[in-house]
Structure 1
Amino acid sequence: MSEGSLGLSIGQLLRDVLKERSLSMRKLSELTDIDTSTISRIINDKRKATLDHLEKFASILEIPLAKLLQAAGYPVDHKHTIRSDYDETIQHLVNTSELLSADLSIEKVQLQLTSYEAYVQTTEGRNRILYDFDKKLKQAGGVGPFIDQIKDLFTRFTMQDVAKRDLTVIGSALLYFIVPVDIIPDYIFAVGYLDDAIAVQIASSVLTRNT
C-alpha cells in the first residue's frame, strides 16, 4: 500500500470504523467540518489525509492519533524516548528541531502554565481536568515518553493528597495537556507533544523542589 502502514490503509481503516458505527461520510463531514468529497477521496485512497484531517478524525471518532498517522503513511516512532533529565535534553530538541517554531521556549511554556493557575483553583477548572483528561489521553494514543508522568500527575490531582500550591502546579500541567491551545499543535507528530512534555517536566521540577 502506498501509505506504508503495517496494517490497514487510512481509507480502509475509516471505512471499517464508519461501518461499525453506522456513520455515513456525510455525517462525518458534518461532525468534522471536512468536505464530503474530500472524505470520499481519502476513504477511497485517492488523496492523502492531511495532519489537520487526521486530528479531526481522531477527535470525532475517538481513534488514537498515532494509529491514524501510521495508517496514513506518516512516520511514527514509538521508540522515541526523552531522558528523565529533561532540562538539557528538551532544550536541545527545541533548539535543533526544524519542525518547531522559533518562538518555542521553556519560558513561553512556563508563562502559559502560570496563566492556568487561577483557573485550576475554580470548580470549572477542576472539572475540566477530571472530565476531559481521559478523552485527551485516548486521543494522544499513548504517544510520548511523558505519558506515564502525566498519568501520575492526574492520579495525584484526583487524590488531592498534596499541598494546595502543589495541586495548582499539577493542575496547570494537566490543563496544558488538555486544553487545545499549544505552542506546538498536537497533530505535528511526533514533536507535537514536545511542549506538553516540557510542561510536565516544569511541574515535576517544581514539585521536586517543594519536597
Structure 2
Amino acid sequence: MTTDTPTAADVGAVATSTALTPYDPAKFQRDQARVSRGFWTKLRRVAGKLPFLDMLLAAYYCALDPATPLRAKATLMGALAYFVLPVDLIPDFLTGIGFVDDGTVLYAAIRAVTEHIKPAHRERAKDLIQRKLVDAGKPPAA
C-alpha cells in the first residue's frame, strides 16, 4: 500500500538536500543588494533590542568572507535580507516578540551552514559589540 503523505524521513531528506533553499543567483544578488543598502541602518536602530546580535554579526561576516562557499553565502544573505526587510511576519515594533521571526530565520540559516561560520567571524562580531561600534552610528571599516 502506498501513500501520498510524506514521512518524517522524507521531509528530513528534502530539508537536508536543499540546505533550506536551492541556490538562485538572481535571488542572491537581490538579497546581497538589500543587505548592502540596509543592514547597518537597521542594525544601529535595533541593536540594543536584539538578543541574537552576536549571531547576526557573525553571520554577516561569514556571508562577506570570500572563503565562504557560495551556497552558504546565499543561505546567510537570505536570512540577513529578511532581517533588513521593513515588513515581515511579526512586526519588529512589537515589544518582546518583534524579533522572534528574524531570530528564527537567522537561527535556521546558521544551523544549515554552521561549519562555515569560523571562530574569526565570531571574534570579529564580539569585538564589534565590545567596542560598541554598532551604537556609534557608522559601520566598521571592511
TM-score, normalized by length of structure 2? 0.59
Residue correspondence of structure 1 range 1-211 to structure 2 within 5 A? 114=21, 119-122=26-29, 124-208=30-114
Cα distance in 2 for partners of 1:115, 1:138 equals 31
Cα distance in 1 for partners of 2:64, 2:99 equals 23
Q: Which runs of 5+ in 2 are unaligned?
A: 1-19, 118-142
Cα distance in 2 for partners of 1:139, 1:120 equals 26
On the 8 A contact 1:121/1:168 being kept in 2, the answer is yes
Question: What is the CA distance between 1:176 and its match in structure 2?
Answer: 0.7
Computing the radius of gyration over CA atoms, which structure comes out larger, 1 or 2? 1
Distance 1:145 1:127, change over 3 A: same
Question: What is the CA distance between 1:181 and its match in structure 2?
Answer: 2.5
Q: Which runs of 5+ in 1 are unaligned?
A: 1-112
Cα distance in 1 for partners of 2:70, 2:38 equals 21
Question: What is the CA distance between 1:161 and its match in structure 2?
Answer: 2.0
On the 8 A contact 1:130/1:158 being kept in 2, the answer is no
Distance 1:165 1:126, change over 3 A: same
Cα distance in 1 for partners of 2:22, 2:96 equals 26
Distance 1:116 1:162, change over 3 A: closer
On the 8 A contact 1:157/1:167 being kept in 2, the answer is yes
Tell me the matched-pair count: 98
State the Cα deviation string for residues 117-163 of structure 1 (Å, max 9, x = none).
Answer: 655422x4322212311001011132121111111111112223211
1:142 aligned counterpart, secondary structure? helix
Q: Which one-letter code corresponds to 1:197 in the other structure?
A: G
Q: Higher relative CO (CA 8 A, sep ≥ 6), structure 1 or 2?
A: 2
Cα distance in 2 for partners of 1:173, 1:196 equals 8
1:180 aligned counterpart, secondary structure? coil
Distance 1:210 1:158, change over 3 A: closer
TM-score, normalized by length of structure 1? 0.41
Q: Percent identity?
A: 28
2:41 aligned counterpart, secondary structure? helix
On the 8 A contact 2:32/2:81 being kept in 1, the answer is no
Moved over 6 A (4+): none
